[in-house]
Structure 1
Amino acid sequence: MDIAENAALVVVDVQKGFDEAEFWGRRNNPGADDNIASLIDVWQASGRPVVFVRHDSVKPESPLRAGYEGNGFKAYVEKRRGKGAGAELFLTKTVNSAFYGTPDLDAWLKAQGVGQFVVAGIQTNMCVETTARMGGNLGYDVVVAYDATYTFDLAGPFGWRRTADEVGQASAVSLHGGGFARVVTTAEVVDAAK
């Protein structure tokens, strides 16, 4: 796998509110936070651009709502912001896709000459997947570091319920099999980026 010298890392919604297990339920990929941290470190050390995305939920009960402690980035992300040798963008959004955030992600990536980006963060099947899908639709070469993402058990229609593992795997299959992104491991990305 090739990772471009100017490939961006898009770190999606790695916020404290996702640690509120009583709200979200059971999650998967217990090593995701360590993997996200390692990707940020590699990107910053290599001078590649990093995008930090924060979800400002408009739902008053959400642990990600603006003004609530859970809205802030997790400590390991916050301490890495502003530390890289490359360009950095901070954007906020109120919907699933980082491409509908402020400032405009697509315009920023184009201004940086970026044609490829790697996505990591939370939740696999929500904001990570939607950002990856839109990136693919916009013509970017999108890579999803699957084990640097996680999600939660989910209930759907007809009484269907899926575990976090099942939901995450379905998202990965849809992205990869549908041609929106290449879904790989963090180790593969790190090895290719060094």
Structure 2
Amino acid sequence: MSKTALLLIDIQQSFYHRGYVASAETRAFEQRLNALIAGCRQQGILLVDVFHVSAQGPFSRASGLVERMPFLQHQADNTFYKNVHNALTESGLDGWLREQQVTDVIIGGICTEQCCETTARVASDLGYKVTFVTEATMTFPITHNGITLSVADLRHRTESVLINRFAAIHTVESCLQELA
């Protein structure tokens, strides 16, 4: 029998100092993520907060911003802190998941193509069955060499590189249906 955990990655107030602003995109993300959290809690899925920390700036614990964003009201089963892009290798999370006999992880959070995608890849490599709920992730446009990738571009790219290799791609609705 499989046991599942929802990994809520980097949904922290630090991002208010890195371009996270209220928009149609952020409101939709917040609503979808809260629906995923509520549905997972109803199914008895473990909820895990993972926060990114650094030595200085808005991601330092001393900043007071390494706290859950105010739109989140859930009670986490555990909280982990990481200083690398994936949530598993240096935070103690992998060991805790194994102690809890977790075999499947669901991923949501900030940023889609960075810490969320990296966590999906590492989780897959560590043997977890990974569900990536793209609409429960958030990102921001990225410009490189004069070319800007939109949020939609980044989500499409992330889904394309994860699907059938590292993760199953789901909507909130399809994820919750599969859990039921």
Task: Normalising by structure 2, report the TM-score.
Answer: 0.88
- Structure 2 CA distance, aligned partners of 1:124 and 1:59? 23
Residue 9 in structure 1 maps to residue 6 in structure 2: yes
How many residue pairs get aligned? The number is 178
Unaligned ranges ≥5, structure 1: 83-87
Following superposition of structure 1 onto structure 2, how do residues 18-33 of structure 1 map, counting pairs within 5 Å? 18-20=15-17, 23-24=18-19, 28=25, 30-33=27-30
The residue correspondences of 1:113-152 to structure 2 (distance < 5 A) are 113-152=101-140
Code of the aligned partner of 2:141: D
How large is the Cα RMSD of the aligned pairs? 2.1
- For residues 6-50 of structure 1, give each alpha carbon's deviation from its aligned partner in whole angstroms, at most 9, with x where no partner exists: 211111111123244xx3378856411111112221222222212
State the identity %.
25
Given that 2:2 and 2:103 are in contact with CA atoms closer than 8 Å, whether structure 1 keeps it comes out as no
Question: 1:80 is matched with which residue: 57, 74, 79?
Answer: 74
Supply the distance in 2 between the matched residues of 1:174 and 1:130 (Cα, whole angstroms).
Answer: 11
**What is the match of residue 85 of structure 1?**
none
Aligned equivalents of 2:2 and 2:125: distance in 1? 22
AA partner of residue 102 (structure 2): V
Distance in 2, matches of 1:167 and 1:131, equals 16
Whole-angstrom CA distance in 2 between matches of 1:98 and 1:132: 9
Residues 69-108 of structure 1: CA deviation (Å, up to 9, x unaligned): 432111232x3125xxxxx221001111001343x12211
CA shift, 1:189, in A, is 0.8
- 1:117 is displaced (CA, Å) by 0.8
Between the aligned partners of 1:126 and 1:169, the Cα distance in structure 2 is 13
**Residue 99 of structure 1 pairs with residue 88 of structure 2:** yes
| 1:112 aligned partner | 100
Q: Would you identify which runs of 4 or more consecutive aligned residues in structure 1 move more than 6 Å?
A: none
SS in 2 for 1:24: coil
The whole-number CA distance in structure 1 between the counterparts of 2:55 and 2:139 is 20
Partners of 1:58 and 1:116 lie apart in 2 by 32
Structure 2: 5+ residue stretches without partners:
none
Q: Identify the range of structure 1 (28-37 vs 181-190) with the bigger mean alpha-carbon deviation.
A: 28-37
Q: CA deviation at 1:193?
A: 2.1
Contact between 1:124 and 1:168, CA under 8 Å: does it hold in 2?
A: yes
Partner of 1:49: 46
| Corresponding letter in the other structure for 2:74 | R
**Is residue 13–residue 69 contact of structure 2 (8 Å, CA) maintained in 1?**
yes
Cα distance in 2 for residues equivalent to 1:25 and 1:90: 22
Match of 1:184 among 166, 170, 173: 170
